[in-house]
Structure 1
Amino acid sequence: MKRGWYSGRVFPRLVQWSMGQAGFIPLRQSLVSQASGLVLEIGFGTGANFSYYPSQIHSLTAIDPNPGMIPMARSLQEEAVIPVHLALGSAEALPFPSSSFDTVVSTMTLCSVPLPSNALQELLRVLRPGGRFLFLEHGQSPDRSVRLWQDGLTPVWKHLGDGCHLNRPMVQMIQTQGWTVTALENFYLPGVPKAFAYFSQGMAVKA
Structure 2
Amino acid sequence: MTDPQDTTSDRRPGGRTARVRAQVLDAVRAELAESGHEGLTMEGVATRAGVHRATVYRRWRDVAGLLVDVIDAAGEVDWQPPDTGSLRGDLTALNQEIQESLVVRPSLPLALMAASFQSEQAARAQTRLWADRYAQCEILVERAVDRGELPEDTDARSLLIAATAPLYHELVLLRAEPDAQLPKRAAEAAALAAAAGAFAGRNEESP
Q: What is the TM-score when the length of structure 2 is the normalising length?
A: 0.28
Report the structure number with the largest CA radius of gyration.
Answer: 2
Question: Greater strand percent: which structure?
Answer: 1
Q: What is the TM-score when the length of structure 1 is the normalising length?
A: 0.28
Question: Greater helix percent: which structure?
Answer: 2
Which has the higher relative contact order, 1 or 2, with Cα contacts under 8 A spaced 6 or more apart?
A: 2
